[in-house]
Every structure is written in structure tokens, then in C-alpha cells.
Amino acid sequence: MGKANLPQGLLIADAVEFDRFIIRMDAIITNEPDMELRKAVDELVRIARRSAVMGLSAGAGGNISSRCGARVLIKASGCSLYDLCEENVVVLGENGEVLSGGGSPSKEVRFHLGIYRSLPETGGVAHYHAPYCTAFAIKGMPVPLVTINAKRYFSKMPIVPELPDGSPELADAVVEAFQDKEVRLILLAGHGIVSVGHTLTEAHLLAESAEEAARIAFFSRFL
């Protein structure tokens, strides 16, 4: 980046801090792994806000994660998707150890890590308490594939029986369901949905498409 000129109006007393800022920016720009991590954090925050605005989860429900090299980024437990910020992103190592971030990882971290371990091509996992998809799951019914997108994306959409949230049993059932390569999204009875993608954005868009199909199918029954 080189030596920077002191911005006009900046007090001389702030010059030292400004120089430190320039040094930090030089380090960030020249450190490619950190750039990749920054992109991953930005994507996590962006998708979290979008999912909340779309009504895919309420309160502190739902969790999302992405893979960044040998690291996994995941929402901190107890933080709402709408309010997710950099400080609430927990960075984990390959074995689930916390490397950085505020708070503890989401209680569903077991199935996130299990998916990444068993599906190396997966780069993102989204888990939402999507109301319309969950309504069908509660009734033990797959989401009717009534839209063009749903028919294109989902050849199978299995329903995992209701199991305690955050439990090893749920994690095992979720990971097992995704061993079928045709499965990109599953329903959790009484709980929500889980989708996977090559990126977190892809996993999220699959969740949006499934919820759209469920919502349209629900309303079409009243016509």
C-alpha cells in the first residue's frame, strides 16, 4: 500500500494511530488467508440477515455455517440471525475446537461438523425453523414440489423423525440423511429444515426455494 499521506483535518495527535491503521490494512491486503476468512465472515453475516428478513427463523432460532479451508465458521449460540455480527461468528478448527469468536458455537454444531466431515464438497450448511416447511414436516408430509424451482432442485426431501435438538442422535440422523447424494435439503419433524450447498449462499437459496414451495402449496389448498 506504501506510505500514506495524512488525511486533511486529521489532528497531529492522531497521526500515530493512523499509521498503525495503515500497517494493519497492509497486513490484511497482503495476507490472502485472512482475506478469505473476511469474505467468509461477511457472507455469514449477510446470509444471516437475509434469512431473518425472509422469515425463515424467529428469535434466536436457526443456525448457519460455512467452511473456509480447514476452518468452520458458525453462528454463536443464543444470537439471533438478524443480529449476527462479526463478534458473534465463532471460528472452529477441524476437530471442533474454538479458534476465535465470541460465545459458544450453536448447539447444533455436531451436525454441521458431521456434514463437513462426511461431505467434503459441502461448503455451507443452513438450518432454519422455516414455518411452512416445518408445518408439513409436523404432519409427516414432504413438501409438495409445486414450483418449477422446487422440481428442479429437489428430487428427494426426506423427513428426519423428531429428536432432541442439539443431541448426538439428531446429529447422526441428519448426517445419515445427507449420505444420499440426491438429497440437498431435509425436513426435521417438529423442528425445521437443513440444507447444504457448495457455498453457504447456495445452501440458503435452496432453503428459500423449499419454503416458497411449501407456502404456495399451503395456500393453493384453499383455492
Catalytic residues: 108
DSSP string, 148-210: HHHHHH-SB--EEPP--TT-HHHHHHHHHHTTSTTBSEEEETTTEEEEEESSHHHHHHHHHHH
For 26, phi then psi, to 5°, come to -60, -40
Place of cell 460465545: 103
Mode of pairing for the β-strands spanning 89-92 and 98-100: antiparallel
From 165, 162, 166, select the one nearest 134 (Cα to Cα): 162
Alpha helices (runs of H) in 59-167, residue ranges in sequence order: 109-118, 131-138, 148-153
Question: How many angstroms separate the CA atoms of 123 and 43, rounded?
Answer: 12
